[in-house]
Amino acid sequence: MIDLNGRIALVTGASKGIGGAVAEALAAAGAHVVLTARDTKKLEAVEERIFAAGGAATIAPVDLTDADSIARLANALAGRWPVLDVLVHGAAVLPELTAVKDIDQTALTRALTVNLLATQALIARFDLLLRQAVDPRFIYLTTSVATAPRAYWGAYAASKAAAETLVDCYAQETRNISALKVAIVDPGATRTDMRARAYPGEDPASVKEPAVVAERIVAMLGEQLDSPHRERVNHS
């Protein structure tokens, strides 16, 4: 297992699912993990599991629809640590699956705010802290529908496709002037609440657990990657 002792990692969407599993895996590898999401109680539950396993974590409840909250989070981290070694951006919202002509504008606006605008805000606020690290990594969790759109997934696919393009551009802008490595990771079919809402008739046991994705992401931190690096986590 990679040794992340002394490293600082920030995980968005860390209250459950893939984000929570990634946070626990990073802590198990030795990183001090900053857990962020909206639900304080669920963040505390993840933090308690990390503590019980001998790891280190700090919770930082943040609503990603509020750009000022992201700025305050960045300022708080910068006030405590001189660098940010790893940022795993897994937070996202899934609007109702519906035909494009029937998309609710309010739901679409929220999806664009969380999935796209918050991604840019995180990059803007944490770029400096990341680039001050020795081997910084920015890992963005995407979805297959961002590059292979499907009927009724228009609102989610459009918001994630735009964010993925933004992250790809960021990787190209930084790869020749810094040590930062950017990875765009499609976790594939994974047992999460979001997956259950999208596929209500699916047997959860038929898809892999979030820990599988978390294990791959932590392993990726020890690998030499091109930037942007792209991959899909397929195995179960």
Residue 228: cis peptide before it, omega within 30 degrees of 0: yes
- Of the residues 152, 156, 170, 199, which is catalytic? 156
Dihedral pair phi/psi, residue 210, rounded to 5°? -55, -30
Residue 156 bears catalytic tag: yes
Is residue 124 packed enough to be buried (19+ CB in 10 Å), middle (13-18) or exposed (0-12)?
A: middle
The two structure tokens encoding residue 184: 């765009």
Give the up-direction half-sphere exposure of residue 1: CA atoms within 13 A in the CB hemisphere.
Answer: 13
How many C-beta neighbours within 10 Å does residue 164 have? Answer: 23
Enzyme catalytic residues? 156
